[in-house]
Homo-oligomer: A and B are copies of this chain.
């Protein structure tokens, strides 16, 4: 762990009694090294605190050693989770983790992507919703043979690493959570139709309704767009109806918050008169009053895993499997205790 400034591949080679080429092979996860030598080199490197010089690798190999996350969802918690996960995997392997927002201003995600790629070489890509469902973007990445992982894609892609949660099952769990607490008149507030996760969560909602023998006519389905504003609107629709809904499941936390604010404004108590659950376990869901019961996904683990799989892919030029499902958890809070 000495981390003596100028430790080079030479020092490791000498100390381990092998050629520098072997050391290089070890750090590139090249298959052509006997396990015994590999362990020897890794042991010496660890002991001395050696880490390969990325600049030298870049210059010599003409690779960038950059893994990039392209996103367009400004949820800070979500982004930070992905970034932390990526970085953990990247720093172990001597890669850079980078995050770049693709903005939709007068142009498509694809054009924004191409603009970025012509300026900045990358060795691997992670895409999150909604970009993980943009076919044009995925096609361009594929065309360039850049290893790519999709986080929560609506439709799994054959030539990408697909990392996701079971959105339908999660939706069902949330609905059952409400039902278990005695609610029999439920509402589902959907997100944007273009966002397939919302539709899957809704499918789970209806599956729960069916499984528990609740009457569909006691239920309400309100169209939203993931914004807080649409939560306000949704509450108005609830209030106008005479269904006497007591359990609300919003497809994300912002709409849950909007619903609660509108309810408070109307003098309705949460959770006493109406329980509300959200989705995403966002920072605001935790900061609200009451704090929001919400579904959490292990986004950091998902991102770390994605990054590792991409690096494996780069090293071996080969993916083994491409579908990986992660488990979710309900964070129980005041809006539906």
Q: Which residues from chain A sit less than 8 Å from chain B, CB to CB? A: 3, 53-56, 58-59, 74-77, 79-80, 91, 101, 118-119, 227-229, 232, 254, 258, 261-262, 264-265, 267, 283-284, 287-289
Contacts and interface: CB of A to CB of B under 8 A. Distances in A.
The 4 closest A-B pairs by CB, nearest first: A55-B58, A76-B76, A264-B265, A55-B59
Nearest to A270: B265
A261 B232 contact: no
**Chain copies in complex:** 2
Contacts of A288: 228, 261
B289 A228 contact: yes
Contacts of A267: 267
Nearest to A118: B3
Contacts of A119: 91
A7 to B, nearest CB: 14
Given A254-B287, A261-B261, 4 more contacts: A74-B77, A228-B287, A229-B289, A232-B289
Contact of A283 (B74, B258, B283): B74
Given A55-B59, A58-B55, A229 B287 contact: yes
A55 B96 CA distance: 13
A284 B231 CA distance: 14
